[in-house]
Amino acid sequence: MNTPSTDPSQDTRLKIGAVANSVGVSVHTIRKWEERYGAVNPARTPGGGRTFTVEDLDRLVLIKRLADAGHSLRELAQLSLDQLTKLWADNPTTRNKTVVPEDTTPTVAVLGARSSRLVNANLSSFSQIKVVATASSLESLSAGVEGRAVDVVVIDSPVLTKSSETQTRNVLSAINAKMGVIVYDYATRVDLALIQSPNIHTLRAPSDAFALERAITAIRPQSATQKPAATPSLLAHVAPVSPARYSDAAIMQLVERAPTIACE
């Protein structure tokens, strides 16, 4: 059965399109597995859209693999993630078969002082992502990634606002990255719901580097070697963003000094 998790990476919000893409099925199939079999129990945005956790994605990937191997969807949907993992490990079609997968390790760039410190302090610990550059400014990051393909860019945003999506699209375009992860401290549910781009995801500030790594691998593009397409026509129609009243550095100082507050 699908049970709640206290893993900080479960704060990652994955849109149904990204989940379907990672599992290798249609959006309609994900909805059917939920409604007919109860395979997952995604949260809903104020607008009614489904949002999935990393654990939901892990479950759906295993259910797809096991169903393809001949297991019943109805029975698979009732198993825990640990049970699904063991069942897949015991599957005779995979136990005696050596598979050499394509290298799909996502390349990652990091924009922001706090996430850069977190990533740089744990570079030797990462096994599922490849960090190509970290920087506190977009200008420095652009110079650091010059000539390199970037799959995912992680962006510090202490306070998520209605302009965060536009700012993130500008960063994606500037360094030719495929997907963005906004790491935030504070956000209203309304502002979270305003993030509509399928290639932009949000993550509440993780407590450790492992949570950030899991979040990135959960939303990585299908092919790490496929070059992203430029989107000048999209950005040409985006209205300029009003300048922030306070800098990110000033906000971060307030965040680090403030007591813990129970909020989204």
- If one compares 1 and 230, the residue with the highest pLDDT of the two is 1
Compute the average pLDDT of residues 104-109.
87
Q: Please enumerate in sequence order all residues whose Cβ is within 8 A of that of 160, keeping only pairs 6 or more positions apart, or say none.
A: 182, 184, 186, 187, 188, 191, 192, 195, 202
d(CA 19, CA 105): 18
Q: Which residue bears the tokens 């300029």?
A: 240
pLDDT tens per residue, range 168-200? 999 999 999 999 999 998 888 888 888 888 889
pLDDT tens per residue, range 247-260? 556 656 655 555 54
**Which tokens in the block code for residue 231?**
């989107």
Contact yes or no for 114/91 (Cβ under 8 A): no
pLDDT score of 97 more than 60: no
d(CA 46, CA 78): 28
- Model pLDDT, residue 210: 83
pLDDT category, 206, cuts 50, 70, 90? low
The model scores a pTM over 0.75: no
Cite the beta strand spans of the chain per DSSP E.
14-15, 43-44, 50-52, 107-111, 130-135, 150-159, 177-186, 200-204
Nearest CA among 120, 108, 74, 67 for reference residue 217: 108
d(CA 14, CA 52): 5
Q: Which domains does the chain have, with CATH numbers?
A: 8-95 (1.10.1660.10), 107-257 (3.40.50)
